[in-house]
Structure 1
């Protein structure tokens, strides 16, 4: 019998922050996603999370959480995707910020959907597949 692999999804920083702060709907979304998908985060999300806990000294909490996900690096392929999409958006006056552009570039390079509550930013990227929250 062949093993069926769970579908893969990239979880955005906002969902993880909600989970860590026990804030809804993100906290529940992450729990449900963990049961249904193989979870990935980007190295940009790791940076954002570790930066956010510098004051509180809770890096061990982030590092423990990271043992349950696959971290996708920001590599050359992601850099190419991110640069192209960020330029395209900013030239239309639709800047989403560097970190979100980098996250989108990583998702596009790996051809993986993104689970985020920040639909307003990420909907602007035509090639990026977003996982609808109701599918989790």
Structure 2
């Protein structure tokens, strides 16, 4: 029987904690038997605030990067329209990250449950640590 490996996308807040050598975050990540991903939107967020480019590159290097493609854009558009029609909006970056995860069937590891929790009804899977 083939073993199914989890696909976990690391959100920017998780990556920042890793860059700061936060032991709780590192232990939580090491406890998972998974392939780790991040989105190009997360790369943008992390890179715009980096202090040391070399350290940022080392942090990102082992992760599988997934881009915001056309199908992710359609997913994001559908979600934003649905939210807007209900009087709700979500920051575009979080919307794009969520759409990429939904589109590529990635679980999202984030500490920003307030924002991303609103995307669960659209199929976003959040990882609990």
* Alignment TM-score > 0.5, same fold: yes
Match of 1:13 in 2: 12
Contact 1:14 1:26 (C-alpha < 8 Å) held by counterparts: no
Q: 1:115 is matched with which residue: 84, 109, 126?
A: 109
TM-score normalised by the chain length of structure 2: 0.87
TM-score normalised by the chain length of structure 1: 0.83
Supply the distance in 2 between the matched residues of 1:29 and 1:93 (Cα, whole angstroms): 35
- Counterpart check, 1:39 vs 2:36: yes
- Counterpart check, 1:49 vs 2:29: no
Greater shift, 64-73 or 87-96, is seen at: 87-96
Tell me the matched-pair count.
127
After TM superposition, give the deviation of residue 84 of structure 1 in Å. Answer: 1.1
Greater shift, 65-74 or 84-93, is seen at: 84-93
Match of 1:84 in 2: 78
After TM superposition, give the deviation of residue 30 of structure 1 in Å. Answer: 3.2
Supply the distance in 2 between the matched residues of 1:68 and 1:32 (Cα, whole angstroms): 17
Give unmatched runs, 5+ long, in structure 2: none
Aligned-CA RMSD value: 1.9
After TM superposition, give the deviation of residue 120 of structure 1 in Å. Answer: 1.1
Give unmatched runs, 5+ long, in structure 1: none
Deviations along 1:64-94, one digit per CA (max 9) or x if unpaired, are 1122110001110111111111221233233
Relative to structure 1, the CA distance from residue 59 to residue 3 in structure 2 (aligned partners, 3 Å threshold; closer, same or farther) is: farther
Contact 1:19 1:28 (C-alpha < 8 Å) held by counterparts: no
